[in-house]
Chain A
Amino acid sequence: MIDHKTKILVVDDFSTMRRIVKNVLKQLGFENIEEAEDGLQAYTKLKAGGFGFVVSDWNMPNMDGISFLRAVRNDPELRDMPFLMVTAEAEKEKVVEAIKEGVNNYIVKPFTAEVLKEKMDRVFEKLNK
């Protein structure tokens, strides 16, 4: 099971989207949620420490989701950070790219709380093995 105290970082340039994702996470019982507007900001926040999960959008200014993921995976301190990519494009091509870069899972928007829960469960199941 996932610890509901896990600090989660929600990354999206569109504040409405961050709010929606936060709402969905809250429905799942997560309370400790922080936000970042782009990959760069998110990376800085992650470096500050304390986070246990990342939900990140793909398309963002400054640093997009895939570069952010790459930065995380290349950082010795952050390389094991569970990372869920949110994408609107159900394109296999892009997803494959994300998987190559080491994303733990991805989710296609729009999604429901149930779908998100499943994805998160699966990520943590894998990690705890």
Chain B
Amino acid sequence: MLDDMEEIIAEFITEAEESLDKIDPLFVELEAKGHDKDILNEIFRSMHTIKGAAGFLGFQSIVDVAHGAEHILKNLREGGISLTKQLTDVILKCVDMLRLLFRHLKLKDGKEEDTKPLLDELDRALKSTQSFHQEPEIPLTDKESNEKAISFPPPPSPENPPADSPAYASGTEGQGGIAGQVSSSEKQSAVQVDSGKERVIPDKKEFSQTIRVDISRIDKVMDLAGEVVLVRNRLLNIVNYIEARYSDDPYMESLFETVSFLDLVTSDTQVAVMKMRMQPINKVFSKFPRLVRDISSNLGKEVTLTIYGEGTEVDKSVIEHIGDPLVHIIRNAVDHGIESVEERLSKGKPHHGTIEISAYQKGNHIVIEVSDNGKGIDVERVKRKAMEKALITEDEAARMSENEALNLLFLPGFSTVEVATELSGRGVGMDVVKTSISKLNGHVEVITKKDIGTTFRINIPLTLAIIHVLMVRSGVSYYAIPLTLIEETLKVSKKEIANVVGQKVINIRGRVLPIFELSDILGNGRHIDFDQRYVVVISMGDTKFCLALDELLGQEEIFIKTIKGLDTDSSFVLGATITGDGKVVLVLDIAGISRNKVGLKKT
């Protein structure tokens, strides 16, 4: 029973948080539309439901806050009074407070929030609504006459009704059967049938059949599906080996058949499990209308936000980790990208800026773009800044391409605004954006044009756990490189590798790219001078570089197992996998290599 209770509470928190997430965008919509009964109703209902369930579970502070907000919403809905900024603010504060309270519940940290100031504010706000609109408080006499009219018998001594709870008090009041009511109610319905009152005919025959499943259970299935992939790979290997020996055996064909069927089913299982973890990105996007509203109104800017592709489905881990980087990018766009109204008008631009957020699937990647039509990023200023901070030398700055210069934005300790404003300067820089996205195996690129605007484009692979890799050998060790990051592979002779100011480079069809020995990067190198080197060309957005290694072994579909206790930030290893022939192979963290070896390398 206790476990059951914990489960219910966990479910309550999840569900209530989902309800809260819906409120923010609704409010922004409401502000734009003015009075809209449907929207008000929906917000009211969310608060109402949260309050109801919290009451059952005994979370008094949640009940109090939700009740206050609900009360105001009710007056708004029924009183027809217009929504003032003060009212919006106080209700949004309630939403924030509820979030905080839920977080405490989730963490089970036993912390109490002081809700008193908020409750007082609610009270004042409520009074302001009442001065316009009289609360539909039924006078006691009316109440009594009602009681008589519907002839409730006296409550038959309810068991232990807590006297201090108003809800109980009123519950008790209303207890008792509805004597003598049945016949009159029948009459009522009869009348209604006669009067031909519209009967509600359900037009929605099918309803969504969904169940809530604990994520750990799905992850378990995911894990097992991954194991099946590994077993399948091994089996395929063994079958090839067996086939070579016993090709005449009559059972060989059916073994082949069975294994290829297993192969097919395994792939389908993977896709099915992957889909189970997919959720619409709207879970993240729905927070942005409020964010943009808050920031722009704080800065006195006018910004219109448009969201496209909010139904695009992404892996749950993407939902969890893409929020913060996007918030940062959006903050920057409003704060630094969009100009003030005066500046915009003087440039002949419309007075309100626009920010567009879009998500779409492209091949086996998800692309998320944040575009503003602001002033664009001043590349020269970025370079100057980087020089001041001694991140690059003057010489480097002069030789840098625009794209390279824009990548400086993502270096730790870089910020173009001298005094970080209250909004953008929250101790997180763009380097954190890049790091978070790299952790999702993704990359980010910046496209900017002066006075036209800036676009941040984020690319993330569809799934994280099961990936296609290229198996390679460097020295005596085998490694796996995610295929999505590989542009091409080549075989070059040593002569083609040139040395430019201490950096080895190769020329691929007229494009000069830096090249690194994989064994040098990983620090396990033996320097044997081969005449021929295998080269893997890595492409992460605008960053391109080459890795030189000893052998390419072919593609494989693998399941990444995380390695416990491994510092993935500095080891250049994402995890490990077991290959078809039973070898343990490390999966390389190409994003990490790019960040540490290529990005910062003084060229």
Contact = CB atoms under 8 A, between A and B. Distances in A.
B175 interface: yes
Interface of A: 13-17, 19-20, 23, 36-37, 40-41, 43-44, 47, 57, 59-63, 67, 70-71, 73-75, 79, 88, 90-93, 95-96, 99-112, 114-115, 118-119, 122-123, 125-126
A70 B207 CA distance: 21
A47 B205 CA distance: 11
Contact of B199 (A15, A71, A106): A71
Given A14-B53, A37-B207, A101-B188, A95 B174 contact: yes
B138 A126 contact: no
A101 B185 contact: yes
Interface stretch (B7-15, B488-496, B565-573, B586-594): B7-15
Nearest to B203: A40
Contacts of B52: 14, 17, 57, 88, 109-110
Contacts of A20: 8, 53, 56-57
A99 B192 contact: no
B56 A114 contact: no
B205 A13 contact: no
21 contacts: A14-B19, A14-B49, A19-B8, A36-B207, A44-B207, A60-B45, A61-B45, A73-B188, A88-B52, A90-B166, A90-B174, A92-B147, A99-B185, A101-B185, A102-B186, A102-B189, A105-B178, A110-B55, A110-B56, A114-B159, A114-B160
B146 interface: yes
B176 interface: yes
Contact of A88 (B15, B51, B57, B168): B51
B170 A44 contact: no
Contacts of B138: 91-93
A79 B192 CA distance: 12
Interface string B146-173: 1101100000101111000011101101
B200 interface: yes
B94 to A, nearest CB: 17
B447 interface: no
B15 to A, nearest CB: 5
A108 B158 CA distance: 13
A123 B601 CA distance: 79
Contact of A109 (B19, B161, B167, B175): B167
B175 to A, nearest CB: 7
Given A74-B189, A108-B174, A17 B49 contact: yes
Question: Which of B51, B53, B55 has the most CB atoms of chain A within a 10 A radius of its CB?
Answer: B53
A37 B186 CA distance: 27
B11 A102 contact: no
Nearest to A102: B185
A126 B177 contact: yes
Contacts of A13: 45, 49
Q: Which of A63, A110, A125 has most chain B Cβ within 10 Å? A: A110
Nearest to B169: A90
B159 to A, nearest CB: 5
A74 B167 contact: no
B143 interface: yes
Contacts of B49: 13-14, 17, 59
B188 A102 contact: yes
Interface string B428-453: 00000000000000000000000000
Contact of A96 (B11, B146, B204): B146
Given A92-B143, A125-B177, 6 more contacts: A59-B49, A63-B200, A92-B146, A100-B188, A109-B55, A114-B160
